[in-house]
Every structure is written in C-alpha cells, then in structure tokens.
C-alpha cells in the first residue's frame, strides 16, 4: 500500500525535477510579492519589523495557492487520474501523495526562503527561527487545504479564482497562528503554544482533507 504512495510521490517529484522552472516561478513570485511591501509602505525599520511576519506568511499563502491549480489538472487531462481511481490502493493515499509532493516543492522551499527575506525586514535571529519553524509546521496544512480546493474545482469554469476563494477562508486559522507566533515572541512569550496549535491544525487537516479530496476526485472522474 505504501508502495503506491512512494511511487506516486517519486513520480511527481521526478516530473518537477525535469521542469525546475515551475518551482522557480513560485519562489520568484514569493520574493517579488514580499519586496513590494517595503516599496509600498516605506522603508521605516520599525514598521517593517511590525508587519514582517504577517507579510511573509500571507505571501507564502498566495505563493502556495499559485501552483495548486495544476495539481490534479495535468493528471486529469492525460488520464493518470482515471488510473489512480482504478488502482488497488486507496485514493486517499494518492491524494496525500499529491499534497506531499506539493509541499515538498513549495512549502519546504518557501519556509527556507522566508527567513532570508525576513532579514530584509529587520527581524532578529530568534524571530527568523520562529518564522522558519511556523512555516515548516504550517505549510503542510496549506498544501492539504489547497489540494482539497484544487480537487473541488477540477474541471470547473474560472477554476483559478474559485480555488483561491475556497481555500483562503479555510486557511485563516493557520495564518493567524503562524503569523501570531512571531508577534508573541516579540512580546516576550514562548513559542510552544503557537507551534502546538499549528501542529494540531495540521493533524486536523491530515485527518479530514485526504478523504474529502478522494471524494472530490471520485466525482470528478465519474
């Protein structure tokens, strides 16, 4: 059963490996989007420090959404999805593999990139570490919720904008606790609570979305 999971994951990663530009575009979008904020708001360090976590987190959310539209669409078009529906192992696992590959190619690089950009916002070392940790724990939730939105909008009209409309309200808790962690750190409190809640959110998403994605894919394949 796990064989199918790893096979699908390895295949997706291999596909990305052959087209590294797709990941590059997402990361470039992230950098450009984040850089726009100092340009729009002004270079005062204390203001930038204040908004850094919120900006870096919101931009990560948008960047993660950007690459989601194609998550199932390519498989839907070339018939891979039909084979996954017929495969002897559960579709839930395939959904999880797709979301995992999405996280590896977007969530993980974004978490690594965010602290680098955080330096430009004048964040101190501790905050940068907190930013990295919250993104590392929080982005899997974004990939799972985004994967659900991608599966629900598969084959719909105007699916890109619709995907964002579906995913963003559901991502609000992750955003609040992710960006909030850095702020509580600045207020002199510990990170543990926020990280624990982010972990709990990820577990809730892990426990619900694969089933919902599988249900959505089944009705898309009918």
**Of the two residues 105 and 202, which places its CB atom closer to other proteins in the complex?**
202
Minimum distance, C-beta of residue 152 to other proteins, in the bound complex (Å) = 5
* Tokens of residue 108, six digits: 């993980």
Q: Closest by alpha carbon to 2, among 74, 90, 71?
A: 90
**Of the two residues 4 and 160, which places its CB atom closer to other proteins in the complex?**
160
Minimum distance, C-beta of residue 159 to other proteins, in the bound complex (Å) = 7
Residues that bind other proteins (CB under 8 A): 148, 152-153, 155-159, 162, 165-166, 168-170, 172-173, 176-177, 180, 183-184, 201, 204, 208-209, 212, 215-216, 219-220
Torsion over CA of 31, 36, 42 and 43, rounded to 10 degrees?
20
- Terminal Cα distance for the chain, rounded: 24
**Of the two residues 6 and 208, which places its CB atom closer to other proteins in the complex?**
208
Minimum distance, C-beta of residue 168 to other proteins, in the bound complex (Å) = 7
Can you tell me whether residue 71 is helix, strand or coil?
Answer: coil
User: 149: part of which helix (H) or strand (E)?
Assistant: helix 125-152
**Of the two residues 26 and 198, which places its CB atom closer to other proteins in the complex?**
198
Spatial distance between the Cα atoms of 213 and 72, rounded to a whole number of angstroms: 10
Minimum distance, C-beta of residue 149 to other proteins, in the bound complex (Å) = 9
């Amino acid at each position: 059963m796990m064989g199918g999971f790893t096979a699908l994951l390895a295949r997706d990663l291999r596909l990305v490996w052959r087209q590294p530009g797709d990941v590059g575009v997402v990361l470039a979008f992230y950098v450009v989007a984040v850089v726009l904020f100092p340009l729009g708001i002004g270079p005062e360090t204390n203001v930038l420090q204040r908004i850094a976590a919120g900006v870096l987190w919101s931009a990560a959310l948008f960047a993660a959404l950007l690459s989601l539209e194609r998550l199932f669409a390519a498989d839907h078009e070339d018939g891979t999805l039909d084979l996954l529906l017929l495969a002897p192992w559960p579709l839930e696992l395939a959904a999880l593999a797709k979301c995992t590959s999405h996280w590896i190619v977007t969530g993980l690089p974004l978490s690594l990139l965010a602290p680098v950009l955080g330096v430009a916002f004048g964040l101190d070392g501790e905050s940068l570490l907190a930013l990295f940790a919250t993104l590392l724990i929080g982005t899997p939730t974004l990939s799972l919720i985004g994967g659900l939105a991608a599966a629900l909008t598969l084959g719909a009209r105007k699916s890109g904008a619709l995907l964002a409309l579906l995913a963003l309200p559901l991502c609000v808790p992750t955003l609040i606790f992710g960006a909030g962690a850095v702020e509580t750190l600045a207020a002199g409190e510990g990170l543990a609570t926020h990280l624990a809640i982010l972990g709990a959110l990820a577990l809730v998403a892990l426990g619900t979305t694969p089933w919902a994605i599988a249900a959505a894919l089944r009705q898309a394949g009918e």
